């Protein structure tokens, strides 16, 4: 009886997941394969004639290839931001977890404040302008670092807490310096949590719309989410090209999440065992 109930619950969950995720994505793919007139009907129907390749070519060449430029900008932004987040947050988490003093308590307050306090857009723009980083990729990379660090530090700190201090002491006795201890001993042990931070932040940064709109204006700085405006206007929306654009920019994060979804769950679960 219990086995039947478990299979029934699993079946219901699978059905809900299919409706919530696969049905909308199927609608997007079908619409992306239609011509402009048929796509404008927004019907959940099979295309009369497939135009996937034609629509893809038109999307890639629209506005002097802004989609290609945006893909390049988004990949640079995502890779650089995630690398910096992992590098800085892992070291902060290690020191924060191992130290038990007033400085550590202050860091805890700052991390929680970073999670609770919403970002202030206008003052941040003023700061970026003063530093000469407004409308630049390095400026937006620093923005993502600042906004992503609290979550990353919490996840990594919880995982570092599962590593016995005796490992630190043994490495120090063997003559390891603090940097050697961290990069050659601790960092390889927190790999599941690092993968969690990488995947979660890579998807969020790649799909970011608001920060890129505020802090990185200009066609030459466009990111993938901003290109969704290319095929919308006050009087006309080219739904087939819009949905083809959506399919194109959805593929990279979808592949990453499918490949590393188990690592994400294991990293979060393992870090929750001991803080």
Q: How many CA atoms lie within 13 A of 108 on its CB side?
A: 13
pLDDT of residue 274: 47
- Give 174-192 as a DSSP string: TT--HHHIIIIIIHHHTHH
The CATH T-level fold of domain 64-271 is MetI-like fold (1.10.3720)
Our CA angle for 255, 72, 245, nearest 5°, is: 60
pLDDT in tens, the chain (275 residues): 666 667 777 788 778 877 888 888 899 999 999 999 999 888 888 998 999 899 999 998 888 888 889 999 999 999 999 999 999 999 999 988 888 878 778 888 888 888 888 888 888 999 999 999 999 999 999 999 999 999 999 989 988 888 888 998 898 888 888 889 999 999 998 888 898 899 889 989 999 988 998 898 887 888 988 888 878 776 678 899 999 999 988 888 888 777 776 666 655 555 554 44
Distance from C-alpha of 161 to C-alpha of 157, rounded to nearest angstrom: 6
CB atoms under 10 Å from CB of 137, counted, come to 16
The owner of tokens 């290109």 is 227
**Alpha carbon 34 to chain centroid distance?**
30
Distance from C-alpha of 106 to C-alpha of 24, rounded to nearest angstrom: 45
Adjacent-strand bridge partners of 237: 232
pLDDT of residue 260: 72
Tell me the domain boundaries of the chain. 64-271
Distance from C-alpha of 245 to C-alpha of 15, rounded to nearest angstrom: 28
The owner of tokens 């790649």 is 206
CB atoms under 10 Å from CB of 62, counted, come to 17
| Burial class of residue 29 (count of CB atoms within 10 Å of its CB; 0-12, 13-18, 19+) | middle
Distance from C-alpha of 57 to C-alpha of 227, rounded to nearest angstrom: 15
The owner of tokens 């619950």 is 9
């Amino acid at each position: 009886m219990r086995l039947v109930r478990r299979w029934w619950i699993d079946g219901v969950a699978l059905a809900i997941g299919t409706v919530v995720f696969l049905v909308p994505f199927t609608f997007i793919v079908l619409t992306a394969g239609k011509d402009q007139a048929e796509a404008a009907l927004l019907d959940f129907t099979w295309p009369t004639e497939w135009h996937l390749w034609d629509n893809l070519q038109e999307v890639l060449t629209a506005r002097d290839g802004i989609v290609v430029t945006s893909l390049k900008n988004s990949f640079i932004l995502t890779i650089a931001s995630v690398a910096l987040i992992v590098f800085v947050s892992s070291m902060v988490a290690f020191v924060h977890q191992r130290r038990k003093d007033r400085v550590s308590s202050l860091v805890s307050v700052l991390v929680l404040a970073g999670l609770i306090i919403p970002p202030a857009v206008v003052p941040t723009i003023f700061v970026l302008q003063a530093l000469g980083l407004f409308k630049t990729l390095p400026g937006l990379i620093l923005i993502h670092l600042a906004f992503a660090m609290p979550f990353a530090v919490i996840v990594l700190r919880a995982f570092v807490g599962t590593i016995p201090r005796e490992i630190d002491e043994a490495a120090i006795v063997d003559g390891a310096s603090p940097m050697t201890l961290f990069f050659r001993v601790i960092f390889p042990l927190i790999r599941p949590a690092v993968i969690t931070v990488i995947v979660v932040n890579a998807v969020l940064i790649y799909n970011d719309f608001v920060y890129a709109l505020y802090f990185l204006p200009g066609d030459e700085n466009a990111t993938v989410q901003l290109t969704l405006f290319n095929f919308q206007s006050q009087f006309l929306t080219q739904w087939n090209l819009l949905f083809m654009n959506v399919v194109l920019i959805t593929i990279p994060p979808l592949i990453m999440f499918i490949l590393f979804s188990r690592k994400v769950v294991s990293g979060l679960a393992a870090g929750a065992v001991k803080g």
